Amino acid sequence: MDPATEETSDMAKSENLGLFLRIRPLLQSGVRGDRNPRFRRKSAFEPWFQKMCLRVKTSRSVTLSPPLALERGRTKTEVYDGFSQVFSPDSSQEEVYEKMMRPLVEDFLRGKSGMLAAFGPSGSGKTHTIFGCNSQSGMVPLALQQIFKETSDSTRSLFISIFEIRCEGGKEERVFDLSPNGVDLTMHRSTLKGLHEVVISDWRHGEFVISQALLRRATSPTNANSQSSRSQCVINLRIVDDKSNGEVNDQANDGVLIIVDLAGAEREKGTGNQGVRLLESNFINKTSMVFCLCLRSLLEHQKNPMKPLEKHFQDSLLTKYLRDYMEGKKRMALILTVKAGGEDYHNTSCLLKQATPYMEIKFNNEPSKRRLSPSFVLKGYKEKLEVAEHEIQHLRESNLELEKELKDHKSQIEVAQEIQRLRESNLELETELKYLKSLIEVERLADDQVAEETQRLKESNLEPEKEVKDLKSLIDVQISGDDQWDDSVVEDLPNKNAISPSNEDNDRLARRRKGKKWSSLEEDTLRAGVEQYGVGRWKLILTSNRDIFGERTQVDLKDKWRNLTRQHTHH
């Protein structure tokens, strides 16, 4: 997104009022502000921390306890929580700057308006925090240093204006320009006519201009502060792009950082102010009161929009000038400064009760129409680029991790797939094996059958073989005895038992000789068998046509064939 556009959308976001609390360190006896005789007397005997009515609880909360002298009446300790930050008595200016001021200055450099106001009782350290002293730079000098550090390479110029609102002699409020050659100013609506802006060349120049202005500020010694501010002091910082030649084209649309050092409200009882001081004090208290009324009305209006936003801002020049902030249109931060001594209990308690609800106030910054300088936009882009590069690097790293994880997963999936594939091929092999086994089984069964059949055939062949043998031997006998015996002799053989077969054999032989008459089917089958298998393959011809030849033997077949061939040759 374009940084300028983003800036605009940033500003549209609502945010809470930043409420900071700074506890001033207890000063040594004799220093103004701790001069109440009651506590001075006690300090000789009691350790310093026993005098503290306010203590830091956490970085965002404090506990307020009534001092020992008042304890009998009100023993309750109260806790005030929710501050943006609590600064303990030993916190340094730099610490306050880092946590409170730096974000405001950074936003200001981006063109976002903001306001910081120091608010608290007299002598609690508002001026010290805002302007500092010789040894400890305050928020304004530190801001100048940061602004010049960050704009050194750009074409922008810083403008400062500083003025105070005071009430001389308790009469009407007046505005004084505190810049060199400054004059009385008049306010029209929320704008000061004739306010002089000084172009600052570097931060030292800025510090000098501020210090010179402060010399013109109205201060007086009071009971609470040896150099009490008797006016409300306002500093405006504004950055202008040099391209506009320092011309103020549309001041209302520029990002402005306003820092306000309010004069410290005083309780009349404690100050002992009289005459003019008392009138000043009344003015100071009135301005503080109007300031608080504006914020309270804003808060109530925000909580319940039915309640109108009262126009309290009209009741003091300061709130008039700060109208946009008082109406919640621009963001602001408050730093409450307090003293934590026992005698400060009432002031501190009043301030905390009054101001802590303000932390609920919200601001809807109106978008600035101010155009940012190209170098500033470029800087924004550079910053975004750096962030984006960082982000990309981070994404790359996490991407690498993811890739590695993915690879691991992939290899796991591959292994699982391989296992699945093997399982499936295993299943196929198993089925094939089963099939082969069943084939083998069938084969085995067939073999058994064949063996059985062979056996059966063998057995059935034994008989004809024996018959053949018998016949052969008979034929041999016939051949050898052809000279002595004719067929009739053979008929008589039973009586000549020495060389003839047994009666039983003769019977069978005779049966076969006479035999069953050959049918023409048998003769044809025999012829076909011989044709197919050849002469002499009687066994094969017989077994192949067992159903036709019935009980005939191979010898029958052979004889019949001989007969058939003989008949054939006769013919």
Ligand X SMILES: Nc1ncnc2c1ncn2[C@@H]1O[C@H](COP(=O)(O)OP(=O)(O)OP(=O)(O)O)[C@@H](O)[C@H]1O
CA distance 79 to 357: 13
- Considering the complex, what minimum distance in angstroms separates the CB of residue 23 from ligand X? 8
Which of 56, 263 has the CB closer to ligand X?
263
Chain centroid to Cα 551, Å, comes to: 101
Examine residue 122 and tell whether it contacts ligand X (CB under 6 A). yes
Which of 135, 484 has the CB closer to ligand X?
135
Per CB under 6 A, contacts with ligand X among 196-255 are: 224-225, 227-229
Per CB under 6 A, contacts with ligand X among 325-344 are: 337
> Strands 219-220, 156-166: parallel, antiparallel or unpaired by DSSP?
unpaired
Identify the H or E element spanning 55. strand 54-58
For the CA atoms of 148, 154, 155, 157, the dihedral, rounded to the nearest 10 degrees, stands at -20
Distances (CA, A) of 256 to 2, 116, 183, 285: 22, 11, 22, 27
**Residue range at the interface with ligand X (CB under 6 A); choices 120-128, 166-174, 202-210, 308-316:** 120-128
Per CB under 6 A, contacts with ligand X among 369-388 are: none
Among 24, 196, 238, 552, binds ligand X (CB under 6 A): 24
Task: Check if the beta carbon of residue 269 is closer than 8 Å to that of residue 140.
Answer: no
- Considering the complex, what minimum distance in angstroms separates the CB of residue 222 from ligand X? 6
Task: Check if the beta carbon of residue 318 is closer than 8 Å to that of residue 166.
Answer: no
Buried b (16+ CB within 10 A) or exposed e, 209-245: bbeebbeebbbeebbbbeebbbbbbbbbbbbbbeeee
Among 9, 25, 183, 532, binds ligand X (CB under 6 A): 25
Which of 151, 229 has the CB closer to ligand X?
229
DSSP string, 24-45: EPPPPTTSTTS--HHHHHHHTT
Examine residue 550 and tell whether it contacts ligand X (CB under 6 A). no
Write out the two tokens for 200: 């600052």
Task: Check if the beta carbon of residue 509 is closer than 8 Å to that of residue 474.
Answer: yes
**Residue range at the interface with ligand X (CB under 6 A); choices 1-9, 127-135, 251-259, 539-547:** 127-135
Which of 4, 289 has the CB closer to ligand X?
289
Examine residue 18 and tell whether it contacts ligand X (CB under 6 A). no
Which of 35, 537 has the CB closer to ligand X?
35
Among 66, 67, 111, 125, binds ligand X (CB under 6 A): 125
Q: Which residue is nearest to ligand X (CB)?
A: 264
Among 85, 113, 127, 373, binds ligand X (CB under 6 A): 127
Per CB under 6 A, contacts with ligand X among 130-159 are: 133
The closest of 417, 374, 391, 258 to 326, measured between CA atoms, is 258
Q: What backbone torsions phi and psi does residue 258 show, to the nearest 5 degrees?
A: -110, 130
Per CB under 6 A, contacts with ligand X among 29-88 are: 33
Work out the number of other CB atoms within 10 angstroms of the CB of residue 442: 10
**Residue range at the interface with ligand X (CB under 6 A); choices 117-125, 178-186, 250-258, 307-315:** 117-125
**Left, alpha or beta for 288 (phi > 0: left; psi -120 to 50: alpha)?**
alpha
The reply, when asked if residue 123 is annotated as ligand binding, is yes
- Considering the complex, what minimum distance in angstroms separates the CB of residue 89 from ligand X? 7
Which of 123, 464 has the CB closer to ligand X?
123
The reply, when asked if residue 126 is annotated as ligand binding, is yes
- Considering the complex, what minimum distance in angstroms separates the CB of residue 133 from ligand X? 6
Q: How many residues interact with ligand X (rule CB under 6 A)? A: 20
- Considering the complex, what minimum distance in angstroms separates the CB of residue 263 from ligand X? 5
Q: What backbone torsions phi and psi does residue 79 show, to the nearest 5 degrees?
A: -110, 130
Which of 32, 537 has the CB closer to ligand X?
32
Which of 229, 368 has the CB closer to ligand X?
229
Among 185, 233, 263, 530, binds ligand X (CB under 6 A): 263
Distances (CA, A) of 153 to 103, 254, 451, 498: 21, 20, 113, 154
The reply, when asked if residue 473 is annotated as ligand binding, is no
Classify 159 as helix, strand or coil: strand
Q: In sequence order, which residues have a C-beta less than 8 Å from that of residue 499 and are 6 or more positions away?
A: 477, 481, 493
- Which residue ranges are tagged as binding site? 120-127
Q: Which residues in this chain contact ligand X in the complex, by CB under 6 A?
A: 24-25, 33, 120, 122-128, 133, 224-225, 227-229, 263-264, 337
